Amino acid sequence: MRFLIPAFCLLLLSGCGGGGGQEPPRASRSDAARPVEVSYPKFGDADPHPWDGRVPSSYAVHGLDVSRWQKGIDWRTARNAGVSFVFIKATEGVEELDPMFSEHWAAAGRAGVPRAAYHFYYFCAAADDQARWFIRNVPRVPGGLPHVLDMEWNHHSPTCQKRPDGAIVRAEADRFLDMLEAHYGQRPIVYTSVDFWEDTGIGQLRGTRFWLRSVADHPRARYPGAGWDFWQYTGTGLVPGVPGKVDINVFRGSVQSWKNYPG
């Protein structure tokens, strides 16, 4: 995951989702079908890890996460090479919108790549305000993937060095997830890193799907006993259609389970 700079609320394929009174869309099973152009893709890596045990290539469904650091992506080429989903950075805190969000969101949608947006949590702002900022900037798309709350320590933040204890972190996460679930009709996924998981007990959140970062070992070694849906296994991936290096992730389930995800 990367950090971002301010921008502006954008109307995209379905418009901004801030309107009041409207019921959030509920994806039917047919709406939620996910295409898999290539299963078990073999992507490159600029800094490959010598995996032990189960390797990332043994998973059938792979995808990306992107932000302002990725530009000029040919999404159709990426999809045809085996990119089956993408998580796109949208917001951070209460005033920052990734400057590439609108372009990535629209282009991935045109190419038929299933997508969701993610919010990088800022520990010096209220959960309610951050949820409202995300809702203001990310459209509701029927049948879309669940959006993502990215919770990790930001060691490089020039404005916020707060590290709340685990109980506070979990309460703030629950509030953010509740607000997005009420608006979008799906409970978001939580993305996190090994140190944050260990420091805060974020894995104790009930009814929560997780996306785990582990670039040096399988999640079962770094997050013992954890359930997860997605695994970010490299930040130096090389994917056709994507200039430069990019994060690559796998979905834990089969091609068939992916077609109906989240079920």
Tell me the per-residue pLDDT of 42-101, one tens digit each, with 9 for 90 and over: 999 999 999 988 999 999 999 999 999 999 999 999 999 999 999 999 999 999 999 999
Copy the structure tokens of residue 6: 């301010």
Would you say residue 13 has pLDDT above 50? Answer: no
Which H helix or E strand runs over 148? strand 148-150
Query: What would the pLDDT profile of 18-55 be if each residue is shown by its tens digit?
Result: 333 333 444 333 334 799 999 999 999 999 999 988 99
Query: What would the pLDDT profile of 183-237 be if each residue is shown by its tens digit?
Result: 999 999 999 999 999 999 999 999 999 999 999 999 999 999 999 999 999 999 9
Question: 62, 10, 11, 18: which is closest to 40 by C-alpha?
Answer: 62
Q: CA 263, CA 259: separation in Å to the nearest integer?
A: 9
CB-CB neighbours of 96 under 10 Å = 20
Higher per-residue pLDDT: 96 or 16: 96
Question: 44, 46, 190: which is closest to 116 by C-alpha?
Answer: 190
- Alpha helices (runs of H) in 62-126, residue ranges in sequence order: 75-81, 101-110
Q: What is the dihedral of CA 14, 15, 20, 21, to 10 degrees?
A: -20
Q: How confident is the model at residue 1 (pLDDT cuts 50, 70, 90)?
A: low
CA angle (232 as vertex; 230, 236 as ends), nearest 5:
155
Query: What would the pLDDT profile of 123-182 be if each residue is shown by its tens digit?
Result: 999 999 999 999 999 999 988 999 999 999 988 888 888 899 999 999 999 999 999 999
Q: CA 34, CA 122: separation in Å to the nearest integer?
A: 31
Sequence-separated (6 or more) residues with CB below 8 Å from residue 182: 24
Catalytic residue list contains 198: no
Catalytic residue list contains 65: yes
Annotated catalytic residue: which of 98, 103, 152, 247?
152
What are the helix and strand counts (H, E) for the chain? 7, 10
| Omega within 30 of 0 (cis) for the link into 262 | yes
Q: CA 37, CA 39: separation in Å to the nearest integer?
A: 7
